Structure 1
Amino acid sequence: MTELCLMFSAAFIAATLLPGGSEVLLVALLNNDTSNWLALVILASVGNTLGSITSYYLGTLGRFARSPQEMAKGKYKRSVGLIEKYGYWALLLAWMPVIGDLLCLLAGWMKLPLLKSTLIILVGKSVRYLLVAGLTLHWL
């Protein structure tokens, strides 16, 4: 039970703007005990998705701080362009380091639909954790 809580917490924290390596923890926990692999993947996916939704909500607050013209310039230009081009589908990349956090922030800032955004984020993150778990179990 402690391992499951640890996995959820680490995945949540890793998805916010704080650095973290939840994949490393997943591999370590699977090396210790493979019987909980599905529960670990589910909790990592849900925790990481909820962390991204936290970033989404922070983005909704940021809407008051900057104008659309400011956000479309400079260091945010590429990420804004991804979301403008692909909409909530760009959130399939929410699992990626650095850019994933920014995409989630911008999704909230650009007022993308919350339910669709959440589902797409969950799919992308679940696939990532399933791949990590699958490769780890294969090599054990």
Structure 2
Amino acid sequence: MAAELWGLSGLAASAFLSATLLPGNSEVALSAFLYKWPGWLWPALCVATVANSAGSATSVWLGRRVPAKELSPRVARWFGRFGPATLLLSWAPFIGDALPLAAGWLRLKWAPCLVWITLGKFLRYAAIGLAMHYI
């Protein structure tokens, strides 16, 4: 049991760092954890989701620290059209780290941002976890 808890701690650290601008590979960490302890699917999904969402929430907070100014017209249109729901894509490579920063910069409301971020992160980890579980 102690080894599993250490594994979850490592997964949490990887997931948190992966959601920031720092490099990370939480998908690999989740897959490795589930390979070693397949019976821990739901705890692993919860830990990865919460930690990765916390990393993105940190990015939203950091975006709020930047003085507000105009975004590119393309980004402004995107957020204007979809609002916080844009953060459903915060899991995506390349743009996923920038979206929470932009949401903070635009001063979007916290609660909807956190809901969409968490939903996107959970769906991604669930797809990976369930694939590992059933393959």
5+ residue gaps in structure 2? none
Q: Normalising by the residue count of structure 1, what TM-score does the alignment of the two structures yield? A: 0.89
What is the aligned partner in structure 2 of residue 134 from structure 1? 130
Q: Normalising by the residue count of structure 2, what TM-score does the alignment of the two structures yield? A: 0.92
What is the aligned partner in structure 2 of residue 78 from structure 1? 74
Cα distance in 2 for residues equivalent to 1:81 and 1:15:
24
1:99 Cα deviation after fit? 0.6
Matching residue's letter, 2:34: L
Alpha-carbon RMSD: 1.1
- Structure 1 runs of 4+ off > 6 angstroms? none
Number of corresponding residues: 131
What is the aligned partner in structure 2 of residue 67 from structure 1? 69
1:1-140 equivalences under 5 Å are 1-62=5-66, 64=67, 67-68=69-70, 71-72=71-72, 77-139=73-135
Contact 1:94–1:121 (Cα < 8 Å) also in 2: yes
TM-aligned CA distance change 1:19 to 1:81, over 3 Å: farther
1:79 Cα deviation after fit? 3.2
